């Protein structure tokens, strides 16, 4: 229950960003939402990098393997500083959900199924991790992938400014993120998980979660390949 207050505070923080974007920057709800999500994505990427640095040499709360030795998937103490990062991300997911519902009611916004599924899985996964005190590190490190919505924010800014030069830049940036940022991220995390299993560094009771995490990394690589194919010839993937 102690998590509800900080999560609510971060939900209010991200919601304020959405409100500012649609009232002060661009009255078009769709563009404003992309812009505010792009700014949020920069913050989330920073949280991911911070989590990687903090957790790299951590020890598991149960005295077992932790950090990169455990593939960044291990037991955490209830006072682990990474817990604050979990509150931050859960506030982001919750805010986006509430803002989409508000947009649907007030602006006729059509809620994107892929974004609803993505955020729904995020809320469930991060909520379970927070409840069980496991996998804070790997959950937060995946936020490094949030550079992708930043490129969508660039596209929205191009529409707002009517600057066609930004179109090509945003598309190129999206491809660079997919190929040289997200792909290596999933490969790095997948390799860390495999190494932990191979070396016997899996923390007690977490092998099923390790296997599930590996499946997720493979799925994410496949999903990014889909986005690359969609991005290259024509059209732009939504993020």
pLDDT, tens digit, 9 for 90 and up, residues 11-58 = 999 999 999 999 999 999 999 999 999 999 999 999 999 999 999 999
Residue-level pLDDT at 198: 97
Beta bridge partner(s), residue 75: 134
Radius of gyration of the chain (CA): 18
Residue, of 157 and 7, whose pLDDT is higher: 7
Report domain extents, the chain: 4-231
Cα separation values, 47 from 92, 123, 145, 211, Å: 12, 17, 11, 25
- Spatial distance between the Cα atoms of 115 and 20, rounded to a whole number of angstroms: 21
How many angstroms separate the CA atoms of 166 and 202, rounded? 46
The answer to whether the beta carbons of residues 26 and 35 sit under 8 Å apart is yes
> Region 99-111: what's the mean pLDDT?
94
Contacts of 216 (CB under 8 A, 6+ apart): none
How far is residue 87's CA from residue 227's CA, in Å, rounded to a whole number? 29
| Residue 234, pLDDT score | 57
- pLDDT tops 80 at residue 238: no
Instruction: Say whether pLDDT at 156 is over 90.
Output: no
Give pLDDT tens digits for 27-40.
999 999 999 999 99
Residue 78 — pLDDT band, cuts 50, 70, 90? very high
Kindly tell me if the per-residue pLDDT of 235 is higher than 50: no
Say what angle helices 29-55 and 4-20 make with each other, to 10 degrees. Answer: 140
Give residue 128's pLDDT. Answer: 96
Question: What pTM, to 2 d.p., does this model score?
Answer: 0.92
DSSP 8-class letter at 143 = G
């Amino acid at each position: 229950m102690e998590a509800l207050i900080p999560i609510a505070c971060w939900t209010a923080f991200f919601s304020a960003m959405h409100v500012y974007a649609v009232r002060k920057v661009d009255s078009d709800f769709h563009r404003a939402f992309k812009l505010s999500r792009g700014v949020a994505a920069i913050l989330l990427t920073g949280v991911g990098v911070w989590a990687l640095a903090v957790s790299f040499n951590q020890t598991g709360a149960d005295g077992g393997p932790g950090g990169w030795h455990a593939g960044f998937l291990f037991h955490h103490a209830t006072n682990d500083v990474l817990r604050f990062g979990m509150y931050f991300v859960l506030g982001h997911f919750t805010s986006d959900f509430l803002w989409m519902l508000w947009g649907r009611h007030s602006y006729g916004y059509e809620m994107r199924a892929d974004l609803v599924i993505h955020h729904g899985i995020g809320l469930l996964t991060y909520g379970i991790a927070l409840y069980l005190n496991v996998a804070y590190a790997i959950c937060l490190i995946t936020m490094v992938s949030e550079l992708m919505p930043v490129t969508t924010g660039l596209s929205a800014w191009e529409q707002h400014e009517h600057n066609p030069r930004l179109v090509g830049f945003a598309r190129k940036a999206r491809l660079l993120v997919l190929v040289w940022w997200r792909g290596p991220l999933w490969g790095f995390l997948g390799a860390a998980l495999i190494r932990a299993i191979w070396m016997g560094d899996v923390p007690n009771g977490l092998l099923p979660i390790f296997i599930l995490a590996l499946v997720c990394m493979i799925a994410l690589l496949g999903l990014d390949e889909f986005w690359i194919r969609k991005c290259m010839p024509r059209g732009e993937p939504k993020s």
